[in-house]
Structure formats: structure tokens, C-alpha cells
Structure 1
């Protein structure tokens, strides 16, 4: 559902569902958080996965992945 600043998100204020009462995070806050999250994934994913595999090998002798069960 697209955002229309003049009209909100398409649900009249008095008719909002109970499960979704939290206000939307502003784009000037969410945008930088999203960019940072993507950078974190791009820059650190390989290191995080390698550290996880090393920890699993030290802990259980294998990574827990199906192709490593015989190690």
C-alpha cells in the first residue's frame, strides 16, 4: 500500500486494526537503518558464516550442515 501524505495509509484513523496500533517509523529514520543493515550483511556476512562454521566444528566436530555430517 503506497503512502499518500495527505491521506495517510488508507485506513481512517478511527478504524485501525488493534494489532497494528504502532505508528509507522519515519523514512528519515528507517532509510539509514536499512542502508546500514545491508552494508553489515555485505561486509560481515562471510566472516559471520565462517566464525559460525568454526564454532560448530569445535563444538560438535561438524558444521551441522547435511554435506558435513560425515566429517
Structure 2
């Protein structure tokens, strides 16, 4: 699983909105983000970058460097 955890989630849904593969969903009971489809994660880092409280941890073995295009 590329995304290790979402500890400290405040339920802002920024990770859910930023995920292009719809891997992260809001748990209706806890009102916090959950990783429901880890096998579909493309390791784009958008969820991690948009999280305002740095709650998302991506495992080092799956982490790839973020590439920025200066176009």
C-alpha cells in the first residue's frame, strides 16, 4: 500500500478533492478521510501536498520524487 496512513485528519476533504484516481473517501461515521482503494493509488503526491495538516504519510518504498515542470 503506497499511502501508509492518514493520522491526524481534520476532515477538510482536500485530499479527496485532489485525488485523480478517487482512492480516498470520507468515512461518514468518523468524518475523516480513509484510503479505500490503495491498489489504485498512482503515487502522485497530490493528497500529501494539499493536506493542510500533513496527515498523509507515503511509504518510502513507494515514494517517488515530485517532478516539477518549468515548461
Higher Cα radius of gyration: 1
TM range (shorter): under 0.3
Superposition TM-score, scaled by structure 1 size = 0.18
Higher helix proportion: 1
TM-score for the superposition, normalised by structure 2 = 0.18
Instruction: Specify which structure has the higher proportion of strand.
Output: 2
